[in-house]
Structure 1
Amino acid sequence: MSHKRIPKRKAAIAVGSVVALGAAAILLPNANASQDGSSTDAAPKTLKANDASDLAAQLQDLLGQAFAGSYYDSGTQQLVVNVISGDNNNVVVQAEKAGAKVREVKNSLATLQAGAKTLAADATIPGTAWALDPKTNKIQVTADSTVTGSNWDRLTSTVKSLGSDVAAVKKSSGTFKTLVSGGDAIFSQVQDGTVRCSLGFNVTASDGTPAFLTAGHCGVAAKDWSDSENGEPIATVDQATFPGDGDFSLVKYNDPATQAPSEVNVGGGQTVQITGAADATVGEQVFRMGSTTGLHDGTVTGLDATVNFQSETDPNGVDTVTGLIQTDVCAEAGDSGGSLFTQDGSAVGMTSGGSGDCTSGGETFFQPVTTALTATGATLGDGAAGAGAGDDGAGTADPSASATDGAGDQAGGDAVGGGDEGAATADPSATAGDDQSGTGVGDQSGAGDESGTGADDGSSLTQTH
């Protein structure tokens, strides 16, 4: 895996750790109100995205094989649940009484999953990706700009064999790649130079010691990590998965007394308090922090995505990663491992890879936090103050108050290495984008090189590699 050298910058780690999700104690009180299969006039409930995710999980159990996926309609704030046409009126009534909007579709989850297996067997080509799209009830296949000639013919032939009602393919102008460097930066010195990645979320390892999650390709690239480019290592990789069933690493702090904040720094002395971990829902709004591009928002577009990265160690190889979240949030080199989260403070993912940039857009893929927690045995942190210095009294931010499409100004430098005491709470939606905080370089922590304004500033949270 090749890595570029980067100029020396002072950087601190803006991190989020999370407590157990207590979101919706949910939404099925009337699910058994009608057992006779009769129709119901129950109107779909207005739900927050997290509540919709919890309801979808419950309805998947309730509907069984009739369940064919679900998505969140952010315009109406309703959960839309796909069901297979057939003699399923009773469970449909229950789903409607639970508060979902139900629609009948042709393709079952089993059909779509079988199609994905065919793609994996016959079209694992560098620069391709596919994910299940419940809005279209199809497998959406994407090919980047490197997929041409016989590879393009092979891909389109495989998609065609599945049928136009099962799968569709589109071209992406960019190139799928992992982006080692970025986030509120963590650094490692390797033979070829400096590797920079982003810290995702603070956690507690299964043995009770403090740790954090980041991208797996970062953990594969280097073992020892620092919070400054030439600083002493502060953490060591304990587990790393890449490629394969995910892209995540568990990295343990070397000092067992380390405490880390349950928040994501979005710049300008503002933080987003992380209140839980949640599964992504197609259609929901999400926010991403990255050291190259700052805070950005977008929408979840697919789940259980498979991405075939060109191998960086084998010119003829493919690094296939499965089980990812697909979004339209922009990303650029320098954001790997950083945090993907919701406006109300749920940890959703860590940046894995993608195509495009924050000028033209593209597709970006994230490792689900919930899957990484299960695989590593880690639990989300307890909200203690940041290691080193932290933001004393820092509150939570509303990402939507700052999310547009620019960059830089949001990157923070005050979580693990120096801090804005008494930092105010932030609204990420008010700060994600070109002028995330509306302030100039250096406003975040009193020095320009900690504000994350440049592509090589190691100062914010996530993106892909």
Structure 2
Amino acid sequence: MRLARNLGVVAAGLMVAATITAVPATAGPSFHTEIDPSSVKESIEYLVKTYGVSEQEALRRLELQNDAAKLEEMLKRDASGEYAGMWLDQEGGGKLVVAMTKPSAAQRHVVTMPDRANVKIRTVKNSLSALRSAHDRISKQVGAGPDAVYLPAVSETENRVVVWERAWLKEKKAGVATESQATERAFDAEPGMVSTRTLPKPTPYAVDWGFCHPLYCTNYGPMRGGLRLDMRRDNGTVGGCTSGFNLRTTGGAFPGVPWVLTAGHCMATKTNNVPTQHNGEPVVNQHGIEKNAYPYDYAAVRYVDAAAANKWLESQTNRNVVLKYCRNGGTDSNADTPCGPQATSQNQEITKVTPLAEIKAGMIVCASGSGSSAVNYPDSVDSGAGAGYLVGTRCGRVLSTDVGINTDVCARAGDSGGPLFSQVDKAALGILNGSQQARSGACQMGELNNYSPISTILEDLSARQASGGSVFNVITTPQG
């Protein structure tokens, strides 16, 4: 519970003294979709190891997570005045909790679910539409955006709007008093619905000292989330981060241009304009369109030239992938390193982007990173990740969302910018910013790492290019 309090989150089971309604066991037309276990292998193994359940039970939980998105779509359409959000309670048996101001409004859809016995309806005061309206009003009042001190977010597990204060921006920004007054007025206008908290600033993972990705992607393409990106500092040393997702712009000043997305803090303070490399190969420019103010921590960078773009992306037919590199054994073989007996390298297809508002607490997610240690990879320069930390893909769960995505997925220095994704629906979720912990080496219990939401990044990138008319999107098709 200490971790939850640090996040400003009240555990779902203790959140409100509200009624939990069981769902009657009557059947009807179902919108259930079965999932091929082989497509979510790492997510299944994470659940098996973390919660001591069978593979069949793990698959049930993932299928319920998948069905939850369809249930939400129906409830937003048919019960928008009563629907108040949902989340997955993995610790409580893999239940889906649906919040409603009027429980009966959800029954006709829930009863059609084969797994309805694991769906619970919680009675709450405020509908999601009311919370969203309050969120939008407060956003206008405080001037919410990349440079604002105050950023409101809907907390579905708490049934309220939380106004998060980025205290570290106060001293840099004029007009904070006006924003604070606007926040106070919001409390008066929305009694009992709004609270304010200080957003803990994630410490960006140190840009590491490595020269090339330990996975050595020597076939040069396709560019994938999870590959090592090396940047030369002004003092001659080399630091690196991890690629996140492939982007492409449409229209305007950059029609059809491909970009590589990583963390903005990876590019900070560099002025030498030496191209960013992978495995000694110049790939993208040192700078692009950047911002470094969590949750707006991103850099969209272009390829160094048309030849590099063709070599790394345009000549490939699987442009919508992230790297899934799996290994088991070793000093950090714990629940979130759920792979086979030997290292394997595969691609994870990305076919959609899930907006922050639709990312639910308790969701099972995965991330890929390239942080490394010279102790474990003698032919690689140390990234600062610490001995015993191995490169690759890890899985875990969403602890909460505020203005970013808070997870228990293990990460270390060198992983910054790496992709957070869902195997269940092949969705891009976020890129790694950092942590509020100071950990190195093998993964431990109680990991806490923070991801900048992809939807937030894309909205800001497109808004910054509004005058030029270009729109940024994650590539979600093989030839996108």
TM-score (norm 1): 0.53
Q: Does 1:273 align with 2:295?
A: no
- Residues of 1 paired with 2:24 and 2:298: CA distance? 44
Return the offset for 1:188.
2.2
Match of 1:258 among 300, 304, 311: 311
Q: Does 1:215 align with 2:295?
A: no
Equivalenced residue count is: 318
Return the offset for 1:302.
2.9
Does structure 2 retain, via aligned residues, the 8 Å contact 1:133–1:139? Answer: yes
| Structure 1 match to 2:289 | 239
The alignment yields a C-alpha RMSD, in angstroms, of: 4.8
Secondary structure of 2:106's match? helix
In structure 1, give the amino acid aligned to 2:310. A
- The 1:221–1:76 alpha-carbon spacing in structure 2 relative to 1, beyond 3 Å, is farther
Return the offset for 1:106.
1.2
- Residues of 2 paired with 1:343 and 1:51: CA distance? 14
In structure 1, give the amino acid aligned to 2:284. A
Match of 1:329 among 409, 426, 429: 409
Q: Does 1:286 align with 2:365?
A: yes
In structure 1, give the amino acid aligned to 2:77. D
Match of 2:472 among 360, 373, 376: 376
- The 1:382–1:197 alpha-carbon spacing in structure 2 relative to 1, beyond 3 Å, is same
- Residues of 2 paired with 1:145 and 1:362: CA distance? 20
In structure 2, give the amino acid aligned to 1:350. I
Does structure 1 retain, via aligned residues, the 8 Å contact 2:142–2:150? Answer: no
- Residues of 1 paired with 2:258 and 2:144: CA distance? 41
| Structure 2 match to 1:96 | 110
Return the offset for 1:69.
1.6
Return the offset for 1:347.
3.0
Secondary structure of 1:247's match? strand
Return the offset for 1:274.
1.8
| Structure 2 match to 1:69 | 85
In structure 2, give the amino acid aligned to 1:226. T
Q: Does 1:178 align with 2:189?
A: no
Secondary structure of 2:437's match? coil
- Residues of 1 paired with 2:164 and 2:294: CA distance? 19
| Structure 2 match to 1:299 | 397
Question: Bigger relative contact order, structure 1 or 2, given CA contacts below 8 A and separation 6+?
Answer: 1
The 5 Å alignment of 1:15-414 reads 41-42=25-26, 47-74=63-90, 77=94, 79-85=96-102, 89=104, 91-97=105-111, 99=113, 101-109=120-128, 112-113=131-132, 114=134, 121=142, 131-139=153-161, 166-167=194-195, 176-179=202-205, 181=207, 184-191=227-234, 194-206=238-250, 207-218=255-266, 225-228=275-278, 231=280, 233-236=282-285, 238-243=288-293, 246-253=296-303, 254=305, 255-259=308-312, 262-268=321-327, 269-276=343-350, 277-279=352-354, 280-290=359-369, 291=371, 292=385, 293=389, 294=391, 295-303=393-401, 305-306=402-403, 324-344=404-424, 345-358=426-439, 359=444, 361-368=447-454, 372=458, 376-380=472-476, 382=478
Return the offset for 1:376.
0.9
- Residues of 1 paired with 2:138 and 2:456: CA distance? 27
In structure 1, give the amino acid aligned to 2:476. L
| Structure 2 match to 1:424 | none
- The 1:228–1:271 alpha-carbon spacing in structure 2 relative to 1, beyond 3 Å, is closer
Q: Percent identity?
A: 22
Q: Deviations over 1:63-90 (max 9, x none)?
A: 32433222234465554332224xx84x
- Residues of 1 paired with 2:457 and 2:26: CA distance? 34
In structure 2, give the amino acid aligned to 1:176. P
TM-score (norm 2): 0.51
Q: Deviations over 1:123-163 (max 9, x none)?
A: 9999998753323324568899999xxx9xx99x9799877
Any stretches of 5+ residues in structure 2 without a counterpart? Answer: 1-22, 33-59, 114-118, 170-176, 209-225, 328-342, 372-384, 463-470
In structure 2, give the amino acid aligned to 1:71. W
Does structure 2 retain, via aligned residues, the 8 Å contact 1:198–1:336? Answer: yes
Return the offset for 1:263.
3.5
- The 1:202–1:59 alpha-carbon spacing in structure 2 relative to 1, beyond 3 Å, is same
- The 1:52–1:209 alpha-carbon spacing in structure 2 relative to 1, beyond 3 Å, is same
Return the offset for 1:334.
3.0
- Residues of 2 paired with 1:72 and 1:49: CA distance? 7
